[in-house]
Amino acid sequence: MRDENCIFCKIVAGEIPSRTLFEDEDFKVMLDVGPAAKGHALIVPKAHYTDIYELPSELAGEAMKLAKRMATHMTTVLGCDGFNILQNNGVEAGQTVFHYHMHLIPRYKDGNEMILWKANQFSDAEMDELAEKLKV
């Protein structure tokens, strides 16, 4: 499960260096080269899956367990004041590397300003319709 043109596949194969924080059979955790904050790391499955839609459910579960473990450890070591765990799928959602990964971003009281979305407003009717349509 490798994509020859994928930078994360090359990192997993050891062809491009990375600062590895954790590694097992299924995952690599490494520092992000363009960190949003000190300690920003990425959880990367070793097999190539483009995004959340391709990622098998079992690996998705394992990735979240690993995120909890890493966030707990990183918070202790870094003494950060908050923590974002996020994950982008598709260009429109900000994905730039098309090999699934999860961002682990420590946040600090006096750190970089966080960029948040602007809240939208939809009518009650639209919200009701959406809720109905999206029920699983």
φ, ψ for residue 24 (rounded to 5)?
Answer: -140, -165
CA dist 107 and 113 (Å) reads: 10
DSSP 62-113: HHHHHHHHHHHHHHHHH--SEEEEE---SGGGT--S-S--EEEEEE-TTSPP
Region near ligand AMP per CB under 6 A, out of 28-36, 75-83, 117-125, 128-136: 28-36
Nearer to Zn ion, 20 or 75 (CB): 20
Residue 104 contact partner, candidates Zn ion, ligand AMP, none, CB within 5 to 8 A by sort of partner: none
Interaction between residue 1 and ligand AMP (CB under 6 A): no
Applying CB under 6 A, what is the total number of residues that bind ligand AMP? 14
- The residues of the shown chain that bind ligand AMP, judged by CB under 6 A, are 7, 11, 16, 18, 30, 32-34, 42, 88, 94-97
